[in-house]
Amino acid sequence: MKEPIIKIRDLHTSFGSLHVLKGINLDIFPFETLAILGRSGCGKSTLLRHLIGLRKPTSGQIFIKGVDFIHAHPRNRHKILKKIGMLFQGSALFNSMTVKENVMLPLLEHTPLESTTINIMAKMKLEQVGLSGFEDYYPAQLSGGMRKRAALARALAMDPDILCCDEPSAGLDPIVSAGIDNLLLKLKKAFNMTIVVVTHELESVFLIADRIALLDRGKIIFTGSKQEMKKSDNPKIIQFLERRADEEVLDGDQYLESLLNG
Amino acid sequence: MIKIDQIIAPMGKDFLVFFVHLARISKLAGMSLYWTFAAPFRGEKLRWNLASVQIVRIGVNSILIVGIISFFVGLIIAMQAAYQLERFGASIYVADLVGVSMTRELAPLITAIIITGRSGSAIAAELGTMKVSEEIDALKTMALNPIGFLVVPRMLAMIIALPCLTILSDLLGIAGGFVLALTNLKIPFIAYYNQTVEAIVLKDFITGLIKSFFFAIIIAQIGAYQGFSVRGGAEGVGKSTTTAVVSSIFLIIIADLFFTILFYSTL
Ligand SMILES: Nc1ncnc2c1ncn2[C@@H]1O[C@H](COP(=O)(O)OP(=O)(O)OP(=O)(O)O)[C@@H](O)[C@H]1O
Ligand SMILES: [Mg+2]
């Protein structure tokens, strides 16, 4: 088996007294698309933020391409970061810049290329995500789906090895979100990337993911292929697949007590 | 009955929180100053293109408002001074009073307060909005330093624009005094001019500019700090913007007091 491009070892994170990630162990292999599934608020975005260095875990280690990412020298971290693209849950485009300037920014800052070359490269990236003709629009002038595409173009600007997507299709209508899924599939082929997608949309997971990791209460309770997931008899997984709500356990006395002490 | 620790404990907490803020602001200011003045010598580039945009927004676009307000303040001081001095037949000393108080004190102070309201608040709001919409996180994941990219250009612009605006304010404040002297007090132009030139020494002017340099750092740093510490959506941005303006003005006055004691105390 190939050496994983990302290795997460015993990762713990808490916000104050809230213990969100309770010992995550996860391997992500080169050129695969891994979907991290989980219920809202279970810590998916938090896990992703660790991968791109936006948050330091309470304990644990992350190795990216064999480098201890958390404790690496800032210069080495930056070198790794330049090869990671991130698509944020809310796009996070720079609102003061046009779409093209957004895509050009990382290139201008990190490459010695001429600005005319960068200009052409940015146009190409925008064309790949189907936004040619909108180069000079500001993010506020675009629809949500177009903003996602623009953010994707920006994430791809530096030709990353790893692309992280936080809920790429959240808040979009089914047709547009299917479009984003297809785009991700297309880009994966074109760019030879490892893609980490965080989502809770089963359909898009089954369409784009090679492997699925299920996050529940701060732990990875399952990793495997779609088939393995569908065959699993773990009640948590079945519940997720069948989209069943939690059974409400209502103990009268306990409820009353919680109200009184609340 | 209220227990004593119910009163003391929160006060102690506020006191500690104040020092936590102070420590964080100092850290941010230290890093910003490093990235502005030291890092360029280590091969990091200063983003003059971004700074020049900010110079226009902070400096050029404030010329009119700073000019008008300073002119009127000069005029008002001259009127108040004339009211007192006329009784002693010493109207000519209006020139001294206006000249010295504008250059030493009022020009740097008024300019700083106007710019706090105009640009300090804008810095906090812009960076705060960027924080809320994850733009700052996006910068970090692109391996771009938010301080070098966002704070340094604004601070640089502030350090350049504020002293320039202060000079403008000096001139227009004195012009305000001139107008009153010529029209109301019937002092000849040349007499008032000579009196003004005689009254102001270089030190008055320079200390005013030194003050404005430090005020610039305060405005930019407090604005940036409040912007970066925004939590929770639009409401958080509003809160931080207000806090930025209030605490900047407070710190500007404290710094002003400090410098006045430093430069002019006869103790
Ligand atoms: N900055 C923060 N400060 C305090 N608590 C936080 C912070 N960020 C996240 N949390 C908490 O951590 C938990 C996980 O949040 P996270 O955003 O990772 O969830 P998620 O799985 O991405 O949810 P969703 O699918 O709704 O995006 C939540 O309970 C949230 O309240
Ligand atoms: Mg999330």
Please work out, in degrees rounded to the nearest 5, the angle formed at the alpha carbon of residue A161 by the alpha carbons of A160 and A164: 75
Q: Would strands A18-28 and A33-38 be described as parallel, antiparallel, or unpaired? A: unpaired
Which DSSP string corresponds to A29-56? -TT-EEEEEE-TTSSHHHHHHHHTTSS-
Any bridge partners for residue A211, and if so which? A34
Contacts of B135 in chain A (CB under 8 A): 92-95
Please work out, in degrees rounded to the nearest 5, the angle formed at the alpha carbon of residue B107 by the alpha carbons of B103 and B109: 120
Closest-CA residue in chain B for A78?
A: B143
Closest-CA residue in chain B for A157?
A: B142
Spans of all domains in chain B: 46-266
Q: Which of A12, A14, A15 maximizes ligand 1 atoms within 8 Å of its Cβ, making it the mutation to test the pocket?
A: A15
The residue behind tokens 């006395």 is: A253
What is the distance between the alpha carbons of residues A67 and A84, in angstroms, rounded to a whole number?
A: 14
What is the distance between the alpha carbons of residues B147 and B40, in angstroms, rounded to a whole number?
A: 14
User: Between B126, B133, B141, which is nearest A90 by CB?
Assistant: B133
Of B127, B159, B93, residue with least CA distance to B241: B127
CATH topology assigned to domain A6-83+160-260? Rossmann fold (3.40.50)
What is the distance between the alpha carbons of residues A73 and B149, in angstroms, rounded to a whole number?
A: 20
The residue behind tokens 């000519």 is: B92
- The confidence score (pLDDT) of residue A160 equals 93
The residue behind tokens 């069948």 is: A242
**B142 contacts chain A (CB < 8 A):** yes
Closest-CA residue in chain A for B143?
A: A78
Contact B127, B222 (CB under 8 A): no
The strands making up A33-38's β-sheet, listed across from edge to edge, are A84-87, A162-166, A194-199, A33-38, A211-216, A219-224
Contact A49, A55 (CB under 8 A): yes
Q: Which residues of chain A have pLDDT under 70?
A: 1, 245-252, 262
Of B226, B222, B248, residue with least CA distance to B29: B222
pLDDT in tens, A76-118: 999 999 999 999 988 999 999 999 999 999 999 999 999 999 9
Which amino acid is it at B177? G
3-state SS, one letter per residue, for B26-44: HHHHHHHHHHHHHHHHHCC
Secondary structure E strands in A73-182: 84-87, 162-166
pTM of the model: 0.87
Is B134's CB within 8 Å of A89's CB?
Answer: yes
Which amino acid is it at A222? F
pLDDT in tens, A198-212: 987 888 888 899 999
pLDDT in tens, B8-49: 777 777 778 888 888 899 999 999 999 888 888 887 788 898
In the reported structure, the alpha carbon of residue A44 is separated from the centroid of ligand 2 by a whole-number distance in angstroms of 6
- For range B192-196, the mean pLDDT: 93
A87 C-beta closer than 6 A to ligand 1 = no
